């Protein structure tokens, strides 16, 4: 038995999981009932009605179903998942089929050469191999190899400006992949079909080909050179030097060969066999001018030792809804949670008080909350198996209130430093250490990913974000096997941060076996103990803000799921606070008006240009795929994002009343 199998079996045996994070929130709420009025949890703002034990009532639009819903960014992948549900499979089975198909039809975003986080809710009476009524997460995040060091990205022969581009397209940035191990673990423990059954649809499409959509064609044409750097990659996506265009047939026989080998031999062929050997050889490639310094450090032992982890999600209560998402090594739940708790004191959604959707007050306090939370993220968040992440302190309502008090309604704050959550964390009581200077860095690294959400007829829910990091990952395709390798290790600090400024723990510095900090935030929203919504997004650090935008749209602005997804988004990804916003596509409604943008400029916000009358909201942020469940009727709904080829497929349609 491989080390992977032993680790997975041992972790699975440890279930059921502790409810630690929920208990923290309960204790804090109990204290808040008796706290100073300024620190009490605000109630629902005027004008917002939250129906008891149900999703926001307006979430119901579009077709309703009873046999399960799949929401994915590509129609072929959505069909693969729906077919599994139609044959009697559960949400975990369908998620596996979707992932393998995405490797074929969205190879630029995710695949077996990468990793991901899967949130799972098992219904109390759902079909599966385990008792239900539980929510947990599978951590299939890539890991640093045993030979990794904190200073490994301090490559000579390149400028700081060029470092990311060189490192992220060299083998040194390849993390030990976790996606296949995650899917295999999920199927063995909670699925009902074999791994080979989940892979079969993808094999046919890889072997016979499919017509590429405009999104894949655009990602090839505008790849920044990544599909041209390695001959194997160029041969697939730029045959004879010509980039594939929309409607061209993409055939991937090497990928089909890989999928057949895994279907026949299981994940061992990937983590210990001939595919493992090919991965190790491929990640030895490096870019000029760093030469040998940029070669990957992964060994066969690193692959064999990879283990999937089962983690407890982090939850926060927001206006009566429990929002659960991915715990460290992701920063997703902590950062989204902080922002929600900060914004709870403002009457978001109350147009009479100037806090309607797209109004300047609303966008202003959102941007300020993002800046504060991202300052804390940069300082305190990383892989909690290696560093002490003060999770309790970061989400303590007294600490969050102290941060929210920095938000003024009439002016943009100066660049905030990270706060000090340690005195609010029971493990660190009495720790008065100072914190560092403000974080002025802006996260501009290109990053794509994919997210999909599934609910089955029994009420099992999967919310899964999966990635190879940048679009096309490293651009290194494993010769003869047809899949791309991730560049996930560039999510670590490229320069060691520990102790370089006062109070910096170096939470995201590289270390052997460590998982890099992620922004992925696969989310499930609950009313009481019942799931009512599941969604998530790609987009690098903007993932966090996409999830925040959709959550506010649903809970505060009373939008339906599809409206919440379609609406334009606002994002700020550092304490320095440059705003990005959307509005160029016709479906992105209601738009952020130029008058609102001018008002934000007047408050001092950056990134919106300087000329009055100019529409600066031209970004594209995320791609959210979601499902919803009406607790009263049991009807199921889906919402998909037109920012990609989002597709909802449901089973057993319900006739309109």
Tell me, yes or no, whether 258 lies in a domain. Answer: no
Which pLDDT score is estimated for 393?
Answer: 97
Angle in degrees, 0-180, between the axes of helices 397-404 and 360-380, rounded to the nearest 10: 120
Percent of the chain with pLDDT over 70: 86
Catalytic residue among 185, 449, 465, 647: 449
pLDDT, tens digit, 9 for 90 and up, residues 494-544: 999 998 666 789 999 999 999 999 999 999 999 999 999 999 999 999 999
Cα within 13 Å of Cα(582), Cβ side: 22
pLDDT, tens digit, 9 for 90 and up, residues 253-289: 999 999 999 999 999 999 999 999 999 999 999 998 9
Tell me, yes or no, whether 212 lies in a domain. Answer: no
Tell me, yes or no, whether 553 lies in a domain. Answer: yes
Is residue 119 within 8 Å of 526, Cβ to Cβ? Answer: no
Residue 561: closest CA among 653, 628, 644, 482 = 628
State the Cα–Cα distance between residues 338 and 333, nearest whole angstrom: 8
Active-site residue flag, 551: no
Tell me, yes or no, whether 303 lies in a domain. Answer: no
Is residue 233 within 8 Å of 227, Cβ to Cβ? Answer: yes
- The pTM of the full predicted model, rounded to 2 decimals, is 0.90
Tell me, yes or no, whether 54 lies in a domain. Answer: no
Distances (CA, A) of 29 to 41, 317, 338, 406, 458: 8, 9, 15, 22, 32
Burial class (CB in 10 A: 0-12, 13-18, 19+), 204: middle
Residues of the chain with pLDDT under 70: 1-61, 126-132, 428-447, 500-502, 656-657
**Residue 100 CA from chain centroid, whole number:** 18
User: Maximum Cα–Cα distance for the chain, whole Å?
Assistant: 71
CATH code for the domain of 402: 1.10.246.130
Tell me, yes or no, whether 347 lies in a domain. Answer: yes
Instruction: Give the structural domain span for 546.
Output: 314-445+540-636
- Residues in contact with 245: Cβ distance below 8 Å, sequence separation at least 6, in sequence order: 212, 217, 221
Residue 412: closest CA among 578, 573, 541 = 578
State the Cα–Cα distance between residues 251 and 168, nearest whole angstrom: 27
Strands (E), 92-212: 115-122, 134-140, 210-211
Tell me, yes or no, whether 428 lies in a domain. Answer: yes
- Residues in contact with 284: Cβ distance below 8 Å, sequence separation at least 6, in sequence order: 171, 295, 296
Give 323's strand partners. Answer: 316, 525
> Look-up: residue for tokens 């429990």?
322
* Counted domains in the chain: 1
Which pLDDT score is estimated for 17?
Answer: 33
Tell me, yes or no, whether 591 lies in a domain. Answer: yes
- Residues in contact with 26: Cβ distance below 8 Å, sequence separation at least 6, in sequence order: none
State the Cα–Cα distance between residues 578 and 606, nearest whole angstrom: 5
pLDDT, tens digit, 9 for 90 and up, residues 167-212: 999 999 999 999 999 999 999 999 999 999 999 999 999 999 999 9
């Amino acid at each position: 038995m491989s080390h992977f199998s032993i680790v997975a079996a041992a972790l699975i045996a440890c279930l059921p999981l502790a409810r630690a994070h929920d208990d923290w929130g309960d204790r804090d709420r109990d204290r808040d009932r008796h706290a100073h009025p300024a620190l009490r949890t605000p109630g629902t703002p005027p004008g917002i009605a939250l129906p008891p034990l149900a999703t926001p009532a307006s979430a119901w639009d579009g077709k309703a179903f009873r046999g399960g819903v799949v929401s994915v960014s590509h129609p072929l992948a959505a069909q693969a998942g729906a077919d599994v549900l139609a044959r009697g499979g559960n949400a975990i089975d369908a998620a596996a089929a979707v992932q393998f198909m995405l490797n074929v039809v969205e190879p630029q975003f995710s695949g077996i050469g990468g990793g991901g986080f899967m949130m799972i809710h098992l219904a109390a009476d759902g079909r599966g191999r385990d008792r239900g009524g539980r929510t947990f997460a599978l951590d299939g995040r890539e890991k640093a190899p045993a030979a990794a060091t904190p200073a490994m990205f301090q490559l000579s022969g390149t400028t700081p400006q060029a470092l990311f581009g060189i490192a992220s397209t060299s083998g040194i940035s390849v993390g030990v992949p976790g996606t296949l191990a995650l899917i295999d673990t999920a199927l063995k423990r909670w699925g009902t079909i074999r791994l080979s059954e989940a892979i079969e649809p993808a094999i046919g499409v890889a072997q016979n080909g499919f017509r590429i959509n405009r999104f894949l064609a655009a990602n090839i044409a505008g790849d920044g050179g990544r599909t041209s750097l390695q001959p194997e990659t160029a041969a697939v996506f730029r045959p004879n030097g010509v980039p594939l265009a929309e409607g061209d047939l993409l055939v991937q026989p090497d990928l089909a060969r890989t999928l057949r080998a895994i279907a026949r031999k299981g994940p061992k062929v990937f983590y210990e066999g001939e595919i493992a050997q090919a991965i190790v050889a491929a990640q030895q490639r490096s870019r000029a001018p760093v030469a040998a310094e940029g070669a990957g450090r992964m060994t066969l032992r690193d692959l064999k030792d990879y283990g999937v982890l089962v983690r407890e999600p982090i939850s926060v209560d927001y206006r009566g809804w429990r929002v659960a998402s991915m715990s460290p090594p992701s920063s997703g739940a902590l950062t989204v949670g902080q922002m929600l708790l900060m914004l709870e004191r403002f009457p978001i959604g109350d147009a009479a008080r100037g806090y309607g959707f797209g109004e300047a007050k609303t966008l202003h306090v959102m941007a300020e909350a993002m800046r504060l939370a991202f300052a804390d993220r940069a300082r305190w968040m990383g892989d909690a198996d290696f560093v002490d992440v003060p999770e309790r302190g970061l989400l303590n309502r007294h600490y969050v209130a102290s941060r929210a008090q920095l938000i003024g309604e009439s002016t943009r704050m100066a660049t905030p430093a990270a706060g000090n959550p340690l005195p609010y964390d029971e493990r660190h009581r009495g720790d008065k250490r100072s914190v560092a200077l403000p974080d002025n860095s802006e996260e501009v690294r290109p990053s794509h990913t994919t997210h999909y959400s599934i609910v089955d007829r029994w009420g099992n829910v999967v919310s899964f974000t999966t990635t190879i990091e940048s679009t096309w990952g490293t651009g290194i395709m494993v010769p003869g096997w047809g899949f791309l390798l991730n560049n996930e290790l560039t999510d670590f600090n490229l320069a060691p941060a520990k102790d370089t400024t006062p109070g910096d723990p170096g939470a995201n510095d590289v270390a052997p076996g460590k998982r890099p900090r992620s922004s992925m935030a696969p989310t499930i929203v609950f009313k009481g103990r019942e799931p009512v919504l599941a969604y998530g997004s790609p987009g690098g650090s903007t993932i966090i803000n996409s999830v925040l935008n959709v959550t506010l749209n649903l809970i505060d602005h009373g939008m339906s799921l599809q409206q919440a997804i379609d609406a334009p988004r606002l994002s700020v990804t550092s304490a320095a606070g440059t705003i990005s916003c959307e509005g160029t596509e016709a479906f992105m409604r209601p738009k952020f008006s130029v008058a609102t943008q001018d008002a934000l400029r007047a408050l001092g916000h950056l990134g919106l240009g300087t000329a009055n009358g100019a529409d600066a909201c031209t970004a594209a942020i995320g791609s959210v795929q979601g499902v919803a469940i009406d607790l009263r009727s049991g009807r199921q709904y889906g919402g998909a994002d037109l920012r990609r080829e989002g597709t909802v497929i449901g089973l057993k349609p319900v006739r309109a009343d």
